[in-house]
A and B are shown apart, each in its own frame.
Chain A
Amino acid sequence: MIAEAGLAALWFAAALALLQLVLVAMGLTGRKDELLAAVRPVAVAQGLLTALAFAALVTLFLRSDMSVLLVVTNSHSMKPWLYKFAGTWGNHEGSMLLWVTVMGVAGAAVALFERALRRDTHMATLGAQAAISLGFYAFLLFSSNPFARISPAPADGQGLNPLLQDPGLAFHPPTLYLGYVGLSVAFSFAVGALLTRRVDSAFARAMRPWVLAAWVLLTLGITAGSYWAYYELGWGGWWFWDPVENASLMPWLAATALLHSVTVLATRDALRAWTVMLAVVAFSMSMVGTFLVRSGILTSVHAFAVDPERGSFILALLAIYIGGALALFGWRIGTVREGEPFELVSRETMLVVNNLLLSVILGLVLVGTLYPLLTEAFGHKVSVGAPYFDRIAGPIALGLMVAMAAGPLMRWRRDSAAAAGRRLLVPAAVLIVAAVVVGLLAWGRIGILPYLGLVIALATAVASVTPLWRRSLRRTPLFTWGMVIAHLGCAVSLAGMASDSAFTVEKLVAARPGDVIETAGWRLRFVQILPRAGDNWTALQADVEASRGGGSPTMLHPQARFFASPPTPTTEAALLTRWDGQLYVVLGQEADAGRWQMRIWWKPFVTLIWLGGFLIALGGALALVGRERRGWVLKWRARRAVA
């Protein structure tokens, strides 16, 4: 029953999306206000129905309803409830349902809460949102039905991939999806504005909070995902430049550029065409990422159930939506006037530099990720991995950090070079001192990129808080705080990355119980190794006593786990976090009689990477609240003035 209800909700939602599109099209072309009046309720109903369908699937998973194919192939009744719940989106159909749910709910939110946008643009935006949703409903209903039944129902399911059986699964994918798909709102705004030819600062002010919200969630999702991979995969790495990771980074890069260009458009009424283009590109990158990952054309590896039918379906959606939006752009943007050029020394210029560098990095990640596909068409297999991206995108990212530090210290419109120079004096001094000090301490021991990373991180950290200098902190607007904290987060994260790649100490040992291992100031005593059993796994667990500088010891428990359904071995690393870094211990195979392979890393300040990511998201959230609250205050004052 529940499965049929979910499927029915989905069909109704699809029908409403079609209705919404038709209402907008007829209402806008025929100027029929009574049709347009129905659009918002329809959008809200559509959002509710998708949420209902999603709730139905969650219920099926929680109840381990083995008459539903998706539950059978991705769940197991013995699984802890959290993984039954999170298992809902740990598969293709479920995650696509999450995708359309986010899209439907975002559309409903735009219908309910968007007040700043001109009415015709608002309606066109909702029409665009309905049009995109429609494609993904079709995809779900015609080629990826999550509610399909299986008959006869098997006794139990096949279980969830053990790598996914981690609390991270409950939090990380939904956040990332909210961000990914939240960008569809920006896309729809851009299409709406192109249709009504209203690309101006009022449009930018209306779009900004939606972009900001999606960007905050995307940042959180990527940060959480990076940490998850770091502790779950057991190789001590936090970013691999894998095609799938790149697929998640590209929308973030585009959204970050969009966030800054939309500010220029809101403040100076310039960069109109560029901002619209970025809004289209950001969500296009989400869709391209989904295509790359689900069609299997890049993530080579063996056993991924790759379905060419699904791949072609998504490819068709790409053609319709991205191709359509870009064609509309070409057709309409010629009528949009560009604003005044900028002065060389001004905040606008720095923001343009920011956009330029972010776009170049985006382009490089895109080209680097797809290049193997291109050469394969010529019969030549190549790999493009970390060495390329680090070496090429790294220096550009460092340049971006410098622009980020300098930008907020410039004035809008026009600044005198001398005054800007005075404001940059302190950060520049820090840069020089840091260059000398870090150079003296570590020269020859660390690579050039980590060195520059550390120096620039220190200088940009100082520069990013400089806008607060000599200001009354209580009267500083919340969105300024947001910017400062987000920029500080970038510096913090960079410091963590540079420190990790410069100072990590690795130790590989084969030890037997009783052995003592000394590395990087730590003393680890391998106490014993014992079998352990969990709900749906068994493991060998090592007890390792770690202490430093005669302090009290902490017991660590790295495990080599074996999951029964499906049968898969995993490693569970043991992490010990201290203020100045993390100790990372992995239990490997038995080397020879009684000796066990262990990998131990001491990673100084590695946690700063994710702390920085969190600060970036926090800054975005503060800016969002700050802008919105100012809107409420102004409205309230206006109302009082009228009264």
Chain B
Amino acid sequence: MRKMLIWLPLALFLAFFALFAGGLFKPDDRVITSKLVGQPLPGFALPAGASDRPALASTDFATGKPRLLNIFASWCVPCAAEAPQLEALRRAGAEIDAIAIRDARDDVDAFLRRNGNPYSRIGLDARSSVQIALGSSGVPETFVIDGKGLIRYQHIGDIRADDVPMILDRLKDAQ
């Protein structure tokens, strides 16, 4: 008994060591994903976020065709950086709706004039309440919503040029 006890501290340390080594060498993953992936889009109805696009509600999604839902903001720098990729997606046939977070319509208009407007509908989420309901933790993020209104995929961070084919695949999978 005492014999075993004597070696217990070393054994415990080795366990901790394994934990540390595992933590050190595993790929760094600090991203908080939405737990709603695979579940229906929560209900919402937002006012229009831009002067030349209609408003956005959750009922706009269950139309039988998969769509992209882009979470962005006019004050967000990476959002401007991903604008060309969204434009490329739109040209490839993707239908993109957007929610502008903590924004004002004038600012969104100016942002879209500068960076192009790939969106069909834009909702204005002035208090991030839909963002929170979606389990989204920042801007920009992009969700793939299938034709039945189920969330199929969440892309966190700006879409890079090499992400575009993957997003298109996800859209196709969501048919």
Contacts and interface: CB of A to CB of B under 8 A. Distances in A.
Task: Give yes or no for direct A-B contact (beta carbon below 8 Å).
Answer: yes
Interface of A: 273, 277, 280-281, 284, 288, 291, 295, 297-298, 300, 302, 306, 308, 311-312, 315, 318-319, 322-323, 326-327, 329-330, 333-334, 370, 373-374, 376-377, 381
Contacts of A376: 23, 26, 29
A373 B23 contact: yes
B9 A291 contact: no
Given A333-B6, A373-B19, A326 B24 contact: no
Contact of B24 (A300, A308, A370): A308
26 contacts: A273-B6, A277-B9, A280-B9, A288-B16, A291-B20, A295-B23, A295-B24, A297-B23, A297-B24, A298-B23, A308-B24, A315-B20, A315-B24, A319-B17, A326-B9, A329-B10, A330-B7, A334-B2, A334-B3, A370-B19, A373-B19, A373-B23, A377-B22, A377-B23, A377-B26, A381-B32
A298 B2 CA distance: 35
B14 interface: yes
Interface of B: 2-3, 6-7, 9-10, 13-14, 16-17, 19-26, 28-30, 32
Contact of A318 (B17, B22, B26): B17
Contacts of A370: 16, 19
Given A315-B24, A374-B19, A322 B13 contact: yes
Contacts of B3: 334
Nearest to A333: B6
- 8 closest A-B pairs by CB: A297-B23, A326-B10, A330-B7, A330-B6, A373-B23, A326-B9, A311-B24, A300-B30
Nearest to B28: A306
Contacts of B32: 381
Nearest to B24: A311
B6 A334 contact: yes
Contacts of A381: 32
Contacts of B30: 300, 302
Given A318-B20, A323-B14, A326-B10, 7 more contacts: A284-B13, A298-B23, A308-B25, A322-B13, A330-B6, A330-B7, A370-B19
A329 B12 CA distance: 14
B10 A315 contact: no
Nearest to B32: A381
Contacts of B6: 273, 329-330, 333-334
Contact of A377 (B7, B19, B28): B19
A273 B8 CA distance: 13
Most buried by B among A295, A308, A312, A330: A330
Contacts of B16: 288, 370
A251 to B, nearest CB: 15
A85 B88 CA distance: 53
B23 to A, nearest CB: 4
A387 B119 CA distance: 43
A295 B19 CA distance: 13
B21 A315 contact: yes
A330 B9 CA distance: 8
Contacts of B23: 295, 297-298, 373, 376-377
Nearest to A277: B9
B77 to A, nearest CB: 14
A334 B25 CA distance: 36
Contacts of A318: 17, 20
A248 B7 CA distance: 26
Nearest to A379: B29
A297 B20 contact: yes
B75 to A, nearest CB: 15
A326 B7 CA distance: 8
A291 B23 CA distance: 12
B15 to A, nearest CB: 10
Contacts of A311: 24
Contacts of B19: 370, 373-374, 377
Given A311-B24, A315-B20, A315-B21, A323 B13 contact: yes
A312 B3 CA distance: 32
Contacts of A322: 13
A329 B9 contact: yes
A277 B10 CA distance: 11
Contacts of B24: 295, 297, 308, 311-312, 315
Most buried by B among A277, A326, A327: A326
Contacts of A273: 6
Contacts of A330: 6-7, 9-10
Contacts of A308: 24-25
Nearest to A327: B10
B85 to A, nearest CB: 23
Nearest to B6: A330
Nearest to A306: B28
Nearest to B17: A319
Contacts of B21: 315
B106 to A, nearest CB: 18
A142 B144 CA distance: 48
